[in-house]
């Protein structure tokens, strides 16, 4: 099954089962934010498509927005907790051993930029889920992390959904 067919199927399902849309986008945002899974669940283009679907139909914007923001927030929280708990043991994982620069680059990024790096990291696709993981691994303060996590999740959800959901609605009205 190709990504295009998955995207088409998901968008069709959202269109036909509007009541499930917030739960669907929550799960996708959550999975995309879990360290390692983000590479297997590239749902960002899907969220943009859902935004366009919102704009072209009568699907409510705010419940879907809440699903994306909450899923991203909780997924990053889980990634942070995994990093905090696992610490250096993750360096022994086969996928990390094959690409150790991913952790080292992300570590340098987080150490250089701190909480603003966590905020910005959500918008950088290749390292999106590794930033909270590394922040936990190197024990960034929980409050600083969660403030950056929550604020970036809200902005991220809005940026992905609003172009279609808010601005296209006027076009289709």
Average pLDDT along the chain, 173 residues, taken 10 residues at a time:
69 80 92 80 78 80 94 96 89 76 86 95 85 94 97 95 67 45
Cβ atoms of 33 and 27 closer than 8 Å? no
For residue 20, what is the DSSP state? G
Handedness of CA 168, 3, 16, 20 (dihedral sign): negative
* Per-residue pLDDT, 11: 74
Report the pLDDT value the prediction gives residue 171, as an integer from 0 to 100.
Answer: 46
**Residue-wise DSSP of 117-138:** HHHHHTT-GGGTTHHHHHHHHT
Q: Which residue has the tokens 């934010």?
A: 33
Residues 6+ apart with CB under 8 A from 93: none
pLDDT at 165: 62
Tokens representing 97 are 């051993």
Task: Give the span between the Cα atoms of 76 and 98, in whole angstroms.
Answer: 23
What integer pLDDT is reported at residue 43 of this predicted model? Answer: 77
């Amino acid at each position: 099954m190709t990504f295009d067919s998955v995207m088409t199927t998901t968008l069709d399902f959202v269109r036909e089962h509007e009541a499930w849309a917030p739960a669907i986008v929550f799960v996708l945002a959550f999975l995309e934010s879990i360290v390692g899974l983000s590479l297997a669940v590239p749902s960002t283009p899907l969220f943009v498509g859902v935004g366009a679907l919102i704009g072209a139909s009568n699907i409510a914007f705010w419940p879907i927005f809440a699903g994306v923001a909450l899923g991203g927030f909780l997924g990053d929280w889980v990634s942070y907790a995994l990093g905090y708990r696992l610490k250096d043991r993750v360096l022994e994982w086969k996928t990390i051993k094959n690409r150790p620069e991913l952790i080292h680059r992300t570590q340098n990024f987080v150490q250089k930029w701190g909480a603003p790096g966590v905020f910005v990291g959500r918008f950088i696709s290749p390292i999106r889920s590794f930033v909270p993981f590394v922040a936990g691994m190197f024990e960034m303060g929980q409050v600083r992390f969660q403030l950056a996590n929550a604020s970036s999740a809200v902005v991220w959800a809005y940026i992905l959904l609003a172009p279609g959901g808010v601005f296209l609605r006027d076009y289709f009205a």
